[in-house]
Every structure is written in structure tokens, then in C-alpha cells.
Amino acid sequence: MADLEPKAPSDFLRTIVANDVKAGTHGGSVITRFPPEPNGYLHIGHAKSICINFGIAQEFGGRCHLRFDDTNPCREEDEFVEGIKDDVRWLGFDWGEHQYFASDYFDQLYAWAIQLIKEGKAFVCDMSGEEISASRGRASAAGTESPWRNRSVEENLDLFERMRNGEFDEGSKTLRAKIDMASPHLQLRDPVMYRILKASHHRTGDTWCIYPMYDYTHGQSDSLEKITHSICTLEFSDHRPLYDWYIQALGIFPSHQYEFARLNMTYTALSKRRLKGLVDEGVVTGWDDPRMPTLAGMRRRGYTPEAIREFCKRIGVAKADSMVDFALLEFCLREDLNKRASRYMAVLDPIKVVIDNYPEGQVEHLEAVNNPEDPGAGARQVPFSRELYIEREDFMENPPKQFFRLAPGREVRLRYAYFITCTSAVKDADGNVTELHCTYDPASKGGNSPDGRKVKSTLHWVSAAEAVDAEVRLYDVLFAKENAMEVEEGKTWQDNLNPNSLTVVNNAKIEPALARLGSTAAVQFERLGYFCLDTDTTEARPVFNRTVTLRDTWAKAQQASG
RNA sequence: UGGGGCGUAGCCAAGUGGUUAAGGCACCGGUUUUUGGUACCGGUAUGCGUUGGUUCGACUCCAACCGCCCCAGCCA
């Protein structure tokens, strides 16, 4: 029977957790946490972490805390905490009552610092940043001890209190842990615990002018919340000895840290610093620019949380550095959108078609299926008349052998309408085709001819008189290079930006039903891709974002043949 | 060159001494189709960084070597 069960997703983290639960560690409880710093918006890389942390907690009957790691008042803002909460909720996760801030623990952390001073495990150091850096030593050579390392407990206590009281200038003193200046682990060479920062904090205001460092905060925060598995990315591996040192020195609940490889994806940048740069330099319109890999941007672009969660499931979790193919994300998106998106017709690059044998002034309403993947989605009426628009690229005057679409003398089907045959193409003085003349077969109404004859192609179309004008924004990858961070000699990562990441179509023609949408839910423009209404939409003018194109084997074949 | 990690197909990734080395994406064929979409079928590692060793048997154990990533913020 067991063989018939679907295999549980297996990765090294779940294996560790499962073993702990089995062994009864911490009474079998599983508590994880997602700990963003509120200094920017979340991106798809954070989504991986969120899915791991909340996912594991869910699977093992535990819980996941949302904790804001707000120990640096210079960079953190309330705007970001609200944005982060929106994003986590949107992704589909719920932290319940368990929302915390590292700043909630400032008093406790301060008390613990005094405890460590009293035990001779911490001291106030008067060295400047440069001096500390210089004395840390080389990777292969021991550092040198601070001349202030052996101050008396009383003096340390006094100085630390006066640091807190604001008696000293920023940068003039720090509280450091007294560990080992010769440790092969650089993090253990008397790391700074507290620095003086005369900045007001987004939550504690001006209560403090000394702030704890990440290393002195994170493990204890985990410990206070009884976090059993503190899961973070690989670059924190080096911090684990220090994480453990503080917990041991303090004798508090033994949370443990585990690390996995952060997400990298082709044609994109996933570092808050880089993304912030794009926002600040105006390369994109904001954190929610639909080209951004931020959750806010992806949401606006039309990505669904289901697609992102599926992507996170499929990429797996491991410790090897990796670069995930962007195509996998698009696959997950299309897979989800295909099931849920209602179909409509819209023409992005219109060329007029006149059906010469269709009665002038007549309008028929033809039934169109809303979603062939979902019978429950019903059908709608689409107006058809003598003058229509079709996609310019669906006609070729001298088509190559593999081109199945409209051409002089050729018959094709207009989706849900009629078979039409092209009789002539009107051109302007420069030889550009400006209008097509066709005839239709009245017997083929709905899209099938009674004599059973076949056509090789079905085109989307919009009736000219009833068409509504719309703006459509077409997006492409933000970076032109597969590895966005691979910089050529003498260039910067900004040089890797894709100059064509945004194309605005100002004169798209959409069917009337699309103009009445009133929802930002995903729709499919038949044969073109998935789209959604953008927040820039006004009463007067709909604005659509192209979420992702449909798979297009024809375009691919063309590209391949040059 | 100190420390911490990692190397299985183009990209992810299972595999923990005995299986024809899972699965997905991408790619290549084909079937169905009123979306050149979807769905479905099939193909794609004599090989697991390299070289030795242990063993009846190694992707799995051992050794050496090679390569890549991270760490010297009073950032997180």
C-alpha cells in the first residue's frame, strides 16, 4: 500500500525535520520563521524561502512565524513591513498571531548583553571601524586583540550604560563579544554586538541610540520564539558558529540553523540591492513594475500565487548553487493560467479585412466558448460584421511553405465565425498592405463547413465597428544576459539590461466583452498569451499587461530558420 | 594559500553499498485539436568532477587531486 502513496517531496531539510520529529526533539514540535528585513520588497527568491518555511511548518503540523529583522534603523521603514505582509498573505500563507519584530526583543537583548559583560564575555571597545577591521587579521593569519579587551566588568558596565544613554558619538564605541581573535572563523574574532546609531527606529522611535547587530539578535530571537529549525540561505553558514556561541553563552533555548542555496534565475537579478537600484535610478517605474521579479511586480503583471508556489515546489531545495531556467517559471504560470483564464479575442497589430460578400450594415452575434479547459466557464456572444481586424502577421502575400495562415487565394477560419478566402490585398504607395478583401462562406457559420472541407489555420479577429481601443504593454525579460550578473570587462551589470523589456501597443483592438472586464483576473487573448488589466486602467482606456505569451512553436521555428 | 559549502543530462533535482541512475523544465519526433495553445504518446546520462583504493559489487565508503561559490560591514 505504501508504494501507492505519492512520494512526499524529499529534500535534505525535510529529512532533517522528519528525523527530529521522529526522535522527539523539542517534543516533536516544529516551529520555523520567515525573517525579512523591512528594507525593501519581497522577490521570487523570498518566495522560495517562504514556501520552505511555511511549507515545512504546515507539513509537520507546526507553525511559522513572521518576524521582521529590524535591527538597523537607518534602512528600515513601515512602508516595507506593510508591503511584506501583503506579499506573504497574497502568496497564500498565514502566520496567525505569530507576528514579531526583532525590535520587540531590544530590552531582553540589552539585559543579556549586561549578563555577558558580567560574565566577562563582552567588552566595550573604543576602536574605530577601520581599526577593528585592520585588527581582525587575514583569513590565514590571526587577528590582534583590542587594547580595550581587558577592561574591568565595572568599567564595561558603566561604559555600556553610558553608550545607551547617548553620551558617546556614533562610531566611537562598540560592545564586542570576547571570543577568540585567532579563530579560523572570522565571525568569531570578537564580533561587534552593539553599535551606536543616533537614528530613530521605525518602531522604537528614539528610545535607543545603540542597536544590536544581526548576529547578536537573530539566534536569540529564534530562541525566544522557540524556533526549532531556523532555515536560511547558504551565505549565513559562516555565521552558524556565532549563532551557536550566543545561545550557549546565554544558556537559552537551543534553536538550530540550517542553510539552503538561494534562488538564482536566468535573465533576472535577485538581490535587494540591485532591485532597489533599478527603482531608485528610474530604470523601472517602481517596486511593482510588472517587469520586476518582486512579488508586487509579478502580482501586477498577472502571476498567480498558485503558479509561484508550484514553481517553488518544482525547483526543489538543496545546497548546490544553481541558476534556475526562467522557462520553468513561465511553464508553471501557463499551466495555471490555462486552467483558469477566460478566452477573448484581441488584435494587437490590426489590419483591416473587408468581407465583400457580407451584407453591409449587418451585425451577427456569434457564440464563443469562454474556456475550452473549463466547461463551467460558459460562452459569450461576439459581434461579427463586414469589416474586421485581424493580426497583421496573420497575412503574407508570398507565404513560405510552412505558413498556414491567410494569403491571397487561401481559405482560413475566423474563430467561432466563418471560413473566409482572401481575394486581394490593397497596398499604399510604399507597397505596404493596408487592407485585405475577402469573401466568406455563409454555410460555414460557427466555424465548420457542411461539406467537411478543412482549413489549416484559425485566426482571431475583432469586428471593426464594435472594437474598443486599448493600450497593451508587452514585457520581455529585464536582462538580456542569461546570467544578469556576469559583467563584461569595463562594463556594469546595468549594461546587461534588456532595452526591449517593455513594448507599449497603443492601438490594440479588443472585443467589447474585454472592455467590460472590471476585474484584474487573468484572461487569455486567443493565440497571443495571457493578459490582465493593469492598475493604470482608466474609465476611458483599458490598459492590459501581457503576463506571458502562449507557447509558440511557429515563432520558434521561424526564429530557428532565421 | 585560513575557514565554511558544493560538484548526478542544456537547467533544476532524487538517489544514503546490489534497481535498466527517479521526476520536472528545455529540446527533438508523433497523435488529437475551431488557439501553430492545451492534452496525450515516444525519444534524450553505458554515465554520477578526476584519479586511485576498499568491496563479490561503488553515484553511494576511503584517499588524493581538480573546479565553483561564500566569509575579513559598527549591513542583513
Contact A69, A37 (CB under 8 A): yes
Domain span at residue A99 reads 12-260
pLDDT-based confidence at residue A402 (cuts at 50, 70, 90)? very high
Does some domain include residue A120? yes
Sign of CA pseudo-dihedral A116, A118, A121, A123? positive
Q: Strand pairing of A31-34 and A63-68?
A: parallel
CA of A319 to C1' of B50 (A): 22
Same domain flag for A143 and A256: yes
Q: What angle do CA A327, A328, A330 make, to 5 degrees?
A: 65
A37 is catalytic: yes
* B13: residue with closest CA to C1': A316
Same domain flag for A374 and A326: no
Same domain flag for A133 and A250: yes
Asked if the model's pLDDT at residue A562 lies above 80, the reply is no
Same domain flag for A272 and A359: no
Of A516, A508, A512, residue with least CA distance to A546: A508
Does some domain include residue A91? yes
Q: Which nucleotide minimizes the distance between its C1' and the CA of A238?
A: B4
Asked if the model's pLDDT at residue A497 lies above 70, the reply is yes
Q: Strand pairing of A350-355 and A433-441?
A: parallel
A262 is catalytic: yes
Same domain flag for A439 and A484: no
Catalytic, out of A85, A121, A262, A392 = A262
Same domain flag for A452 and A562: no
Q: For all residues of chain A together, what is the average pLDDT?
A: 96
Domain final residue pick, A260, A286, A313: A260
Q: Range with the lowest mean pLDDT among A40-54, A84-98, A507-521?
A: A507-521
Asked if the model's pLDDT at residue A3 lies above 50, the reply is no
Domain final residue pick, A227, A260, A293: A260
Asked if the model's pLDDT at residue A477 lies above 70, the reply is yes
Catalytic, out of A63, A151, A272, A343 = A272
Contact A510, A504 (CB under 8 A): no
A272 is catalytic: yes
A331: domain CATH number is 1.10.1160.10
Does some domain include residue A467? no
CA of A298 to C1' of B16 (A): 39
Q: Which nucleotide minimizes the distance between its C1' and the CA of A322?
A: B12
Q: Which nucleotide minimizes the distance between its C1' and the CA of A317?
A: B13
DSSP A488: P
CA of A336 to C1' of B17 (A): 42
pLDDT-based confidence at residue A514 (cuts at 50, 70, 90)? very high
Does some domain include residue A94? yes
Contacts of A309 (CB under 8 A, 6+ apart): A47, A51, A91, A92
Instruction: Give ipTM to 2 decimals.
Output: 0.97
A71: domain CATH number is 3.40.50.620
Phi-psi region of A526 (alpha: psi -120 to 50; beta: other; left: phi over 0): beta
Asked if the model's pLDDT at residue A4 lies above 90, the reply is no
Residue with cell 473549463: A374
pLDDT-based confidence at residue A518 (cuts at 50, 70, 90)? confident
Nucleotides of chain B touched by protein CB (<7 A): 1-8, 10-16, 23-28, 34-39, 68-76
Collapsing DSSP to helix, strand or coil, A84 comes out as: helix
Domain final residue pick, A192, A225, A260: A260
Catalytic, out of A33, A37, A415, A526 = A37
pLDDT tens digits for A322-340?
999 999 999 999 999 999 9
Q: Which nucleotide minimizes the distance between its C1' and the CA of A194?
A: B74
Collapsing DSSP to helix, strand or coil, A375 comes out as: helix
CA of A237 to C1' of B67 (A): 21
Same domain flag for A428 and A490: no
Give residue A135's pLDDT.
Answer: 97
Q: Report the number of distinct structural domains present in chain A.
A: 3
Does some domain include residue A526? no
Does some domain include residue A130? yes
pLDDT-based confidence at residue A6 (cuts at 50, 70, 90)? very low
Question: For chain A, what percentages of helix, strand and coil (3-state, to nearest 5) are there?
Answer: 35, 25, 45
Give residue A8's pLDDT.
Answer: 61
Q: Which nucleotide minimizes the distance between its C1' and the CA of A214?
A: B76
Task: Report how far Cα A492 is from the mean position of its chain's Cα atoms.
Answer: 23
- CA dist A250 and A256 (Å) reads 15
Of A256, A183, A178, residue with least CA distance to A219: A256
Does some domain include residue A5? no
Does some domain include residue A387? yes
Give residue A287's pLDDT.
Answer: 98
Same domain flag for A239 and A284: no
| Per-position DSSP letters for A456-487, written without gaps between them | S-EE-EEETTT-EEEEEEEE--SBSSSSTT-P
- CA dist A105 and A514 (Å) reads 52
CA of A184 to C1' of B68 (A): 22
Same domain flag for A30 and A118: yes
CA of A334 to C1' of B59 (A): 35
Q: Which nucleotide minimizes the distance between its C1' and the CA of A76?
A: B76
Asked if the model's pLDDT at residue A5 lies above 50, the reply is no
Collapsing DSSP to helix, strand or coil, A310 comes out as: helix
Same domain flag for A58 and A187: yes
Same domain flag for A219 and A354: no
A364: domain CATH number is 2.40.240.10
- CA dist A131 and A146 (Å) reads 9
Q: Strand pairing of A346-347 and A256-260?
A: unpaired
Asked if the model's pLDDT at residue A30 lies above 80, the reply is yes
Across A173-205, b (16+ Cβ under 10 Å) vs e yields bbbbbbbebebeeebbbbbbbbbbbeeebbbbe
pTM above 0.95, yes or no: yes
pLDDT tens digits for A285-328?
999 999 999 999 999 999 999 999 999 999 999 999 999 999 99
pLDDT tens digits for A117-127?
999 999 999 99
Cell matching residue A48 = 522560495
Same domain flag for A243 and A202: yes
CA of A337 to C1' of B40 (A): 20
pLDDT-based confidence at residue A9 (cuts at 50, 70, 90)? low
Q: Per-residue pLDDT averaged across A2-29, rounded?
A: 81
Q: Strand pairing of A523-525 and A342-344?
A: parallel
Q: In whole angstroms, how far apart are CA A269 and each of A286, A356, A479, A485?
A: 15, 53, 8, 7
- CA dist A365 and A408 (Å) reads 27
